[in-house]
Homo-oligomer: A and B are copies of this chain.
Amino acid sequence: MSAILGAAVLALAGQAAAQLTGRGFPDCDDGPLKNNTVCDLTADPLDRATALIKAFTLEEKLNNTGSTSPGVPRLGLPAYTWWQEALHGVASSPGVNFSDSGDFSYATSFPEPIILGATFDDELVRAVATVVSTEARAFNNFDRAGLDFWTPNINPYKDPRWGRGQETPGEDPYHLASYVHALIDGLQGGYDPKYKRVVATCKHFVAYDMESWNGNFRYQWDAHINSQDLVEYYMPPFQSCARDSNVGAFMCSYNALNGVPTCADPWLLGDVLREHWGWTNEQQWVTSDCDAVQNVFLPHGYNDTREAAAAQSLIAGTDINCGTYYQEFLPAAYAQGLFDISVLDQALIRQYSSLVRLGYFDGMAVPYRSLTFADVNTPASQLLAHQAAAEGVVLLKNDGLLPMTITSNMTVALIGDWANATTQMQGNYAGIAPYLHGPYYAVNQTGATVMVVGVPGGQGDPTTDHWRPAWAAAEAADVIFYIGGIDDTVESEGMDRNNLDYTGAQLDVIGQLAMYGKPMVVMQMGDQLDNTPIIENANISALLWGGYPGQDGGSALFDIVQGKVAPAGRLPVTQYPSDYITQIPMTDMSLRPNATSGSPGRTYQWYTGDAVFEFGFGMHYTNFTASIASGSPTSYGSSAPSTTTYNISEMTAGCSEKYMDKCPFETFSVDVKNTGSVASDYVALGFLAGCHGPAPYPIKRLSGYQRLHNISAGSTQTAALNLTLGNVARVDDYGNTVLYPGDYALMIDTQPLAMVNFTLVGAPLVLDKWPQTPTPRFQATDYFVGGYGSTYGQELMVNGTLFSDLA
């Protein structure tokens, strides 16, 4: 009997969970709410939500604070799951319910954001996001998903070790801000639509950046970041989300920032997010990362009691608690008087006004309600998934072997962990793909004889026992493709890397394969590795980086190999030499090099060493030249850009932007000519450099980009790089964004094809005054100097002495 009882407890737990995930729409026609203002389609969304929450009892309010809301059965308000994922397609997650077969058994699986980032094609990103939100709505209409999706992960990917870097578009803050602006447009269906397609969630706010490194864990780590680095590097994507893209939700992160867990930080979630960025219309909410509120209590130990941790988080502005800590401890916290009921009401109003904006209460009045599974994985979406992969693949080495023709009378060896890749191509936060066309599939379409050897010493146990088939394949082949690198067994959520070299015995296998002296190509998959041995091996003709290319990744790669698509992707991150990670601890959040700590700096903007391949690098099958034409005439410009001097004092004249940094500076027209013989896309990357603003100066910084498509041989297309004042400005020690006098150079491409110099004169102009913390916090000026056993060097920064560096 006791055994049965024991099992019964377990079964009960499962049952409770199942009940809570029930969904469906509230019945505004005949349900108990029909006379509540929430069901009045003509009322203001905020008023509608306020009326709904007013009908809740205290217990009902307290019950609906978690990611799995039971709803209010008494009112006919259904249970609702706030947690859906859709990083690169509708994804497996608590609120998404794929069917076992038939309709809704799959969704389009696009490449991981790291590949989408490599396309440097914001219009493509917008199109991809629109497909994702369309498919999400179709799932929702058939009760297979909610309407809130906890995507994108938009933390800048500054350290190659980070296990979740693949989820991001790369390392550059301007790039991420631009990318996410397009993405949210696609996901939400515009920047202020009557009905949002879905609600996107920018995460992880802020400075998440680490899973598990040398005893530092995401759940308890305290990121020490000075104001300059914070505003210059860590904040831009989030500012883009909240201020400029009107994203519907934010997620606070596991880590603390300068001593305060982000989910319990009223300065971060209030002063910065809601006040400074104007994210105040109450139709947006903040969720904690999953159990980040529990983490406020343990392991952060920020509050002495569980009740205080819950109350503090709610008051700070964490409206939803992913997990159950609010539901468990807010009742006692309320009884102890730790928060006012108005704070809880506000959190609930934010949640439900957001649902109002999704049309949750509006029945078939919502245009997206007619979407069905016929709108999922359409032929157009399939083509888009292929295009996204093909645009993102980066050609890193080519001695002329590529493009090559693979004919049916050839024998092709595909060797490596990724040779017959399937779900590897999806990376993490994936859904169920309609198909997974890996390299083996792709080469099979050519009619060639294909020899696939899957496991020659990559991930896992690199025992030589499995290598012999590789030699047999190499012996028989006309051309050898090594397709390996790393995958989610080495880098993933919860798992940072501690090695930038090829894992296992891959380099020995590759080296032996190269000794056959046959045409040989390496496809390096997953995130960046140090490819120096591939570059230096003269027997290897070409190197492609393929990342996590999604459902059609193999086809995309071999379309490039065969020249059906010309490569034009660019590295969205720096490819560091493998010893980089011995030079800087993962916990060091500063960007600038530091002679005391030995840090060589982070990202292409500051790294003082020699990158294996720099940010933005990517080869083509053709050659390009570029020239910068005159900028658009403006009231404050004078003559051609190449000789322009700008007076800072005149630059905001006539600008009606609410935020000065959004005022236009100049549009630079870049004529790009394809001087080779192959039609090709080209990404015009505009980097700013020069001596202006606070020293030290970054090596360069991306300030504009545009992908030009299909420039035919001999022809020219023009890119327009629209620089705002904010793109030109820099950030001072206090986090203020300032337009500085000085010399500037705008360079096109990594090895510049064109450059224009200009000068700003006049007094520095503060474009954005950064909100300081109400009480001084520790500001790290020197991190991890002594390695083990040493302590942080810190100094107190007292507020109120702002702008002193502008004298």
Contacts and interface: CB of A to CB of B under 8 A. Distances in A.
Contacts of A498: 212-215
Contacts of A294: 462, 464, 505, 508
A291 B505 contact: yes
Interface stretch (A564-572, A580-588, A760-768): A580-588
A508 B298 contact: yes
Interface stretch (A244-252, A448-456, A662-670): A448-456
Interface string A315-342: 0000000111100100000000000000
B6 A451 contact: yes
A93 B306 CA distance: 48
Contacts of A142: none
A467 interface: yes
A714 interface: no
Interface stretch (A56-64, A613-621, A696-704, A781-789): A781-789
Interface in A441-468: 444, 447-454, 461-468
B450 A788 contact: no
Nearest to A298: B508
A350 to B, nearest CB: 21
Contacts of A505: 291, 294, 298
Nearest to A461: B290
Contact of A465 (B212, B323, B448): B323
Contacts of A473: 9
A10 interface: yes
A734 to B, nearest CB: 29
A413 B7 CA distance: 12
A12 interface: yes
A512 B325 CA distance: 12
Contacts of A401: none
Nearest to A786: B787
Interface string A1-35: 11101110110110011000000000000000000
A598 B655 CA distance: 59
Interface in A498-556: 498-499, 501, 505, 507-508, 511-512
Contacts of A43: none
Contacts of A191: none
A790 interface: yes
B789 A582 contact: yes
A581 B9 contact: no
A297 interface: yes
Contacts of A3: 444, 450
A272 B596 CA distance: 44
Interface centre among A465, A498, A512 (most CB of B within 10 A): A465
Given A440-B6, A469-B9, A469-B13, A323 B788 contact: no
A446 to B, nearest CB: 9
A636 interface: no
Contacts of A512: 306
Contact of A291 (B17, B462, B786): B462
A642 to B, nearest CB: 42
A68 B581 contact: no
Contacts of A10: 452-454, 469
A435 interface: no
B298 A450 contact: no
A472 interface: yes
Interface string A757-798: 000000000000000000000000000101111100000000
Interface in A65-96: 68
A453 B444 CA distance: 50
Contacts of A584: 788
Given A13-B469, A217-B499, A499-B217, A463 B290 contact: yes
Nearest to A16: B468
Identical chains bound together, number: 2
A465 B9 contact: no
Given A290-B461, A584-B788, A468 B13 contact: yes
Interface string A201-228: 0000000000011110101000000000
B451 A9 contact: yes
A598 B790 CA distance: 9
A450 B6 contact: yes
A747 to B, nearest CB: 31
Contacts of A464: 291, 294, 323-325, 328
A415 to B, nearest CB: 10
Nearest to A584: B788
A252 to B, nearest CB: 16
Contacts of A13: 453, 466, 468-469
Contacts of A597: 788-789
Nearest to A443: B2
A298 B502 CA distance: 11
A754 to B, nearest CB: 38
A468 B329 CA distance: 12
A479 to B, nearest CB: 14
Contacts of A507: 298-299
A463 to B, nearest CB: 5
B291 A449 contact: no
A2 B447 contact: yes
Contacts of A6: 414, 440, 444, 450-452
Given A6-B450, A9-B472, A464-B294, A215 B581 contact: yes
A5 B449 contact: yes
A549 to B, nearest CB: 21
Contacts of A450: 2-3, 5-6
Interface string A640-676: 0000000000000000000000000000000000000
A9 B472 CA distance: 8
Nearest to A326: B464
A1 B449 CA distance: 7
Given A464-B291, A469-B12, A788-B582, A297 B508 contact: yes
A465 B598 contact: no
A451 B3 CA distance: 8
A487 to B, nearest CB: 16
Contacts of A17: 465
Contacts of A501: 299
Contacts of A786: 786-787
A17 B786 CA distance: 51
A80 to B, nearest CB: 15
A164 to B, nearest CB: 14
Nearest to A94: B465
Nearest to A788: B787
Nearest to A7: B452
Contacts of A472: 9, 12
Interface centre among A1, A2, A290 (most CB of B within 10 A): A2
A439 to B, nearest CB: 11
22 contacts: A2-B449, A2-B450, A6-B440, A6-B444, A6-B452, A9-B451, A9-B452, A9-B473, A10-B453, A12-B469, A215-B581, A298-B507, A299-B507, A322-B463, A324-B465, A324-B467, A325-B464, A583-B789, A584-B788, A597-B789, A786-B786, A787-B790
Given A324-B468, A784-B787, 9 more contacts: A1-B449, A2-B444, A5-B449, A9-B469, A12-B472, A213-B498, A298-B505, A583-B788, A597-B788
The 8 A-B residue pairs with the shortest CB-CB distance, nearest first, are: A787-B787, A598-B789, A323-B464, A13-B469, A324-B464, A6-B452, A215-B498, A298-B508
